Amino acid sequence: MCGLLTFVSAHGRASTCQDGVAEALESIHHRGPDETGVNVVDDDVVFGFKRLSIIDVEHSHQPLAYPPTGPEANRYVITFNGEIYNYLELREELIREHGAEFATTGDTEVIVAAYHHWGPAAVSRLRGMFAFVIWDRAARRAFGARDPFGIKPFFHLATSEGIYFASEKKSLLPFAEAASAGDAGVDAANLSHYLTLQYVPEPGSLHKGIGRIGSGESFVYAPGEKLTTHRYYQPTFRPTPTSSPQALYDRIRETLRESVRVHMRSDVPVGAFLSSGIDSTAVVALAREFNPNILTFTVGTDVNGYSEIDVAQDSARHLGVTTIPTLMGPQDMMDALPKIIWHLDDPVADPALVPLYFVAKKAAEHVTVVLSGEGADEFFGGYTIYREPLSLAAINGLPDPLQKGLRAVSKVIPEGVKGKSFLERGTTPIEERYYGNARMFTEEEKARLMRRYDGSVRYTDVTAPIYAEAAAMGLDEVTTMQYVDLYTWLRGDILVKADRMSMAHSLELRVPFLDKEVFDVAATVPVDLKLPPKTNETKYAMRRALEGVVPPAIVNRKKLGFPTPTRVWLRGEMYEWAREIFLRSGADHLLDLKYAVQLLDDHQQGKADNSRKVWTVLVFCIWHAIFVERSLDPGITRNQSALLTKPAIGSVVG
């Protein structure tokens, strides 16, 4: 796990940017405090790299050149963030079929060797999480890619001088500001999307001009030309009825077991997060088969109903592993939030990222790598809202005129009356009613909150292309919702908080569920085995597959996911703090913060539960103070790292 910052010059003047890249690279020191490398290659490219040593610790320094010998020696140079879990198998295949040479025993060299021998098709053979840039010195062309599900972040910025690629957006901001004469600007459309979704959707960001390489995308860039991308992987659900459910359950279990096994490949200690749900418990249960002494980590609060520590400890005892708990309180949350938001790059208003930050901090005291359970819900149908198409089927099946009549009836039913929401949602097409797990401000509320509200910017701008792809695949509504979440909620919220909160502490987080082999079996699960109509269970097939693997009490337990009592604390300990942020914020030209104060006051007085809306605006105000106003110092310095930094690596090529 590492951090990269690469600049490809459009004019063959890369050396003029070397100092700037070296300075900007320090903003992502936390991603790789073990080694630093900043190198210029043929005055075409500056490679900046921060390494967190996981595999082949003594070697595999980056930037890395390949091949090591021969007439084409050092033709390719790579920087790579992530892990390739099938690198040993690919290495053996490259040696056997192509006589490939290797100077290291790590996975970085396997990527560039695969590209040398297989070309761009090599990326489809990689099993893992990754973002990388390869420079071909002979062809004067850059090639790179991001992993199939977007586990690893990958930002880019095009300027008149060339193009930058980075693991985190903050390292691109100096170049974005220089290119825009000091005003990178807040992207108004993405601010609107954030207020709806609680995150900034891909491929854009909240800073104008900075975008992201999509999940499952590769790219090519030649100096002076435009960046071109190619979608090399598209997850395709194919629900398939089965006459033998048990055979499917067995396949799920064994595929997940194999994924956990390869995800544990490491030359440094590996631990795991453990909550009260089945996802993380399954990962721990399977991991301890390969390491009975694996350490696990959990987090909670002292607020009743908002802690998973007791259940996690029971699971740990049942599995015979050690779990190390950590407690967080409201003051911890207030103190850490500026650092958390700085690490996020763009605001994410998911309160669950705060306990994730603290559990990662605790884990980093003991291990360098942790396993976690992200992705199980999107793959296997784990969210309760996925049951909605089943509950609305009776209305959806009615003739259009009758649906229109029921829609008209719903509009005259007073707010809060039972049945109003059911009629509204049942007569609304799925493309308009579902846009992910988070629903913050309605369009009417945004019109009141935003100073420059633009009604033409809608969440359907984000979701419409995804729905079109799902329709082309012929997916049912439940599976369509899963597909939408793969490209919205998973990438925009779940994986952002997982990557940033772990890397904030120089901790590598691995997600065995988010594996191509696991998806291949999850994609075949029929709807009736994901969400049986006669039960309220979710992830039914996965739960049946893990019976006998996880403790019986966990098999059917409802997911909590490191819950955070913001609802409680915003009425008490955090009320004055939040109010002061609104009153002092310099973001009032973008948002009506008097309205935000009213939402907070109504929440504090018990008139409404506005905690999620208040939190969404709070996170943005702190983000704005850090990244736009520059009035808030989050207190992040390179000297805070507990690890020593080795000297910069010398020139990769002559």
Query: Do residues 345 and 168 lie in contact, with contact meaning Cβ atoms separated by under 8 Å?
Result: yes
- Encoded tokens for 179: 């290119």
Spell out the residues 6+ positions from residue 453 whose beta carbon is closer than 8 angstroms to its own. Answer: 192, 446, 447
According to DSSP H, which parts of 367-474 are helical? 376-380, 388-391, 393-396, 400-412, 420-426, 430-433, 443-449, 460-473
Asked if residue 224 lies in contact with residue 10, where contact means CB atoms within 8 angstroms, the answer is yes
d(CA 196, CA 177): 27
Q: Kindly compute the dihedral angle of the four CA atoms of residues 391, 392, 394, 397, in this order, to the nearest 10 degrees.
A: -140
Which amino acid is it at 75?
Answer: R
Nearest to 166 by CA among 368, 336, 20: 20
Instruction: Return all residues near 56 (Cβ < 8 A) that are at least 6 apart.
Output: 104, 105, 106, 107, 267
- Following DSSP, what letter does each residue of 515-561 receive, concatenated? -HHHHHHHTT--HHHHS-TTS--SSHHHHHHTBTTB-HHHHTPPP--
DSSP element (H, E) containing 92: helix 87-98
Q: Which neighbouring-strand residues pair with 130? A: 82
Asked whether the CA dihedral 185, 191, 194, 200 is positive or negative, the reply is: negative
Smallest Cα–Cα separation from 368: which of 508, 488, 496?
A: 508
Q: How buried is 215 (Cβ within 10 angstroms: 0-12 exposed, 13-18 middle, 19+ buried)?
A: buried
Residue 429: other Cβ atoms inside 10 A: 11
Residue with structure tokens 């095009």?
158
Q: Can you tell me whether residue 368 is helix, strand or coil?
A: coil
Rounded to whole angstroms, the Cα distance separating 176 from 155 reads 12
Helices and strands, number each (H, E), in the chain: 29, 17
Work out the end-to-end distance of the chain between its first and last CA atoms, rounded to an integer number of angstroms.
27
Give the closest residue to 163 by CA, choosing from 318, 323, 10: 10
The catalytically annotated residue of 1, 2, 113, 123 is 2
Asked if 621 is an active-site residue, the reply is no
User: Does the bond joining 68 to the residue before it have cis omega, within 30 degrees of 0?
Assistant: no
Nearest to 393 by CA among 424, 422, 419, 426: 426
Residue showing tokens 């784990």: 382
Burial (Cβ within 10 Å: 0-12, 13-18, ≥19) of residue 437: buried
Identity of the residue numbered 646: K
Cβ atoms of 76 and 136 closer than 8 Å: yes
What CA–CA distance (Å, rounded) separates 152 from 606? 41
The residues carrying an active-site annotation are 2
